[in-house]
Chain A
Amino acid sequence: MTTFIIRRVFWTIPVVLLVILMTFLLMRQIGGNPFRHTERNVPAAIQANLEKKFHLDRPWYVQYAYYVKGVLTFDLGPSMSQRDRTVNDIVKDGFPRSLKLGLMAFLWALIVGIPLGVLAALRPNSVFDYIAMFLSSIGFALPSFFVATLLIYYFSVKLGMFPTSGWPNSFWAFDKRLVLPAFALGLFPMAYFARLVRGSMLETMQQDYVRTAKAKGLRYRRVILLHVLRNSLIPAVTATAPLLGLIITGTFVIEFIFSIPGIGRYFINSVSNRDYSVVMGITVLTSMIIVVANLFVDIMYGVLDPRTREAR
């Protein structure tokens, strides 16, 4: 098990380097020099100095090495369009908000979605099952920007229960402004969990070992809790990594709608402003999160299902 974990951790190093390389090359492809297309005419000497300062006069692989070094030392460079702010400042500013939004959405998806799937699977084709699956099909299909706007329309505008936008400044502050964004963001993952868990529960309950457990006279509750649940929750664990990607995607849209100054909003603004270092920094940061989540999921998978350890 330890070797498996160590090997898996080491595998992430080339993956991380490759992810940074991909982002780096993509950003280079966009082209244009951040110092050239300004309204002011920069003298050639200053231009050269600026390029030297940011190593833009060096070949791309040297720039890449500098960038990797920067990422590893948590220095993502200065912003190219917002003066006197570094990418670190922007990340420090926006990331906690996005993280909080994402975590809250994820938690509610987990807390509601998994029990919903389990209960639906325990009574397949019952009224509860149909209602749960109908709701999760809808949650699965509605685009999150629509859910968000719908929520604002009814709960903020019509009923006045929640504010339409805004976000508390402190990471640990909780108030009404969090409810709608977190709900809207978590709806899709919730539906995803419910469907996934229901499917894998139903499949697990048809396994021979479950029949054996029932046949040898174990109590229903024990069979479900010990034999069925453990194995049918494995897909839910595996799904957390891709779901995290979806939640990150979702934060972009939700932050846009609710005017939350998180990294998604900064990202969208930076794309329009051609602020490449911010775009790149945020892409690399979210990539790292996904890579680490994948690592975590793989290790969890190895713990939960010993058969998968050998294969990797």
Chain B
Amino acid sequence: MAIDRREAALPTAAPALPSIEEPSAGAPVAQASLWRDAWYRYIRNRGAVAAGAIFIIMVLYCLFIPGFWKIPGIWTSLKGYDPNGVDFSQSYIGFSLDHPLSTDKFGRDLFARTAVGGQISIAIGFAATFFILVIGVVYGSIAGFAGGRLDNAMMRFLDALYGLPYLPFAIITLAIIGTQNFLSMTIALTIASWFTAARVVRGQIITLKENDYVRAAHAVGARWYRILIRHLLPNTMGVLIIAIFLELPGVVLGEAFLSFIGLGINPPTASWGSMAQDGRAAYVLHPEVLFIPSLAIALLVLCANFIADGLRDALDPRTRETN
């Protein structure tokens, strides 16, 4: 019931928004309207808007301060800094206008380096989240849509995987791949954490499958793939968008953990985790070298959590976090 979903998306106690017009009987429910409603609900949530703004600013900071791809960095070109360049005459010179976030042991400007590290951390975060969701959608929709024995077998397999502890699993995967770079980190973190996404998608598919419009589609002779692609998967979009911001913090933290204990991205390549590892060596005298990347991680995770909460209230106010 598409209309039912719209109703579910309405806030229970709040007065109806003026922007929501009732669809006349028989008229197709416009998809855009759901998203527009969600948008209105989201922007009324001040915390979520602030979190979204900070999140975007952080991403822009990471991209444009040191530059990315072929675009020169604003800060690094202006000052002539190399985020990986060693200059011991500049080591630990503290906060100043030239180095707003001070420098580390090798005299590298932390304002630029935090941004470079952020590129890696956030890119790993989004890449792994993307693959987690792709695997989750494929696995979950096969299990949920097929049902029966196949579903049961696939879920039991997932149960077994749930038994594997996250960090050891990721570490072993990294050991199998044998290298520790962007790609292997993404793969390891994806493999270690796609289970929840698959479960969520399966649950959604199973609930949606029972809807009248699916039966109607079936009755008029729609093939299974059409039902799946046209009717079921679009309706999981809301959950998937929320899932992006639910998975992202876990992956970013996972990367940081692995790099921090020396099994992830290795110095001199910057990621927030490897920078924290750098900073740990001298935290007693120069705590800022550890604090800056850690606070960057914390801010990103905090924002992602608030965005996820806001999105959930906007798209799906009745579902609560259950796991």
Residue in contact with A142 in the complex, picked from B156, B263, B283, B298, CB distance below 8 Å: B298
- Label chain A's interface by main secondary structure: helix
CB distance from A244 to the nearest CB of B (A): 9
- Does B166 sit at the interface, judged by CB under 8 A? yes
Q: Does A95 contact B (CB under 8 A)?
A: no
Closest A residue to B171 using CB positions: A271
Q: Which residues of B contact A142 (CB under 8 A)?
A: 294, 298
B40 near A: Cβ within 8 Å? no
B residues near A157, Cβ cutoff 8 Å: 284
Segment of A43-51, A64-72, A247-255 in the binding face: A247-255
Q: How far is the CA of A23 from the CA of B298 in the complex (A)?
A: 32
- Whether B182 is near chain A, meaning CB under 8 Å from some CB there, is no
B287 near A15 with CB under 8 A, answer no
Contacts of A179 in B (CB 8 A): none
A286 touches which one: B165, B260, B298, B301 (CB < 8 A)? B165
Tell whether A18 pairs with B287 under 8 Å between CB atoms, given A145-B260, A200-B320, A203-B320. no
Closest-CB distance, A270 to chain B (whole angstroms): 10
Whether B163 contacts A290 by the Cβ 8 Å rule is yes
User: How near does chain B come to A240, taking the closest CB pair, in angstroms?
Assistant: 11
Partner of B165, one of A26, A141, A283: A283
Please, how many residues of chain B have a CB less than 8 angstroms from a CB on the other chain? 46
Find B263's partner among A29, A271, A288 (CB 8 Å cutoff): A271
Bound Cα distance A141, B252 (Å): 11
What's the nearest-Cβ distance from chain B to residue A300, in Å?
Answer: 15
Q: Chain B interface secondary structure, helix, strand, loop or mixed?
A: helix
Q: Check if A81 is an interface residue, CB within 8 A of chain B.
A: no
The answer to whether residues A252 and B298 also contact, given A15-B159, A26-B176, A153-B284 and a CB cut-off of 8 A, is: no
State the total of A-B contacts with C-beta under 8 angstroms. 139
Task: Please tell me if the beta carbons of A249 and B298 are within 8 angstroms of each other in the complex.
Answer: no
CB distance from B144 to the nearest CB of A (A): 15
In this assembly, does B322 line the interface, its C-beta being within 8 Å of a C-beta of chain A? yes
Find out whether the CB atom of A290 lies under 8 angstroms from the CB atom of B162.
Answer: yes
A129-161 residues with Cβ-Cβ distance < 8 A to B are 137-138, 140-143, 145-146, 149-150, 152-153, 157
Say whether B321 contacts A196, CB under 8 Å.
yes
Whether B173 and A26, one on each chain, are in contact in the complex, defined by CB atoms closer than 8 angstroms, is: yes
Distance from A13 Cβ to chain B, minimum over Cβ atoms (Å): 11
At the interface, yes or no: B168 with Cβ under 8 Å from chain A? yes
A167 at the interface (CB under 8 A from B): no
Contact (Cβ within 8 A) B166 A245: yes
B321 & A238 in contact (Cβ 8 Å cutoff): no
A279 within 8 A of B: yes
Question: A279 CA to B298 CA in the complex, in Å?
Answer: 30
Are A153 and B161 neighbours in the complex by a CB distance under 8 Å?
no
Q: Is B305 touching A141 in the complex (CB atoms < 8 A)?
A: yes
Task: Check if B157 is an interface residue, CB within 8 A of chain A.
Answer: yes
A residues 234-273 touching B (CB-CB < 8 Å): 235, 238-239, 242, 245-246, 248-249, 252-253, 256-257, 267-268, 271
**Residues A153 and B168 in contact, CB atoms below 8 Å apart:** no
Within 8 Å of chain A (Cβ to Cβ): is B241? no
Q: How far is the CA of A99 from the CA of B76 in the complex (A)?
A: 48
Take A200-B320, A249-B257, A286-B165 as given contacts and tell me if A30 and B176 are in contact as well, using a CB distance cutoff of 8 Å. yes
Instruction: Identify the interface centre among A30, A141, A279: most chain B CB within 10 Å of its CB.
Output: A141
11 contacts between A and B (CB under 8 A): A26-B172, A27-B172, A30-B176, A141-B299, A141-B305, A142-B298, A143-B257, A249-B257, A268-B263, A286-B168, A290-B163
Residue positions of B touching A, CB distance < 8 A: 156-157, 159-169, 171-173, 175-176, 249, 253, 256-257, 260-263, 276, 280, 283-284, 287, 290-291, 294-295, 297-299, 301-302, 305-306, 320-323
Listed from nearest, the 3 A-B pairs whose CB atoms lie closest are A146-B294, A18-B160, A141-B302
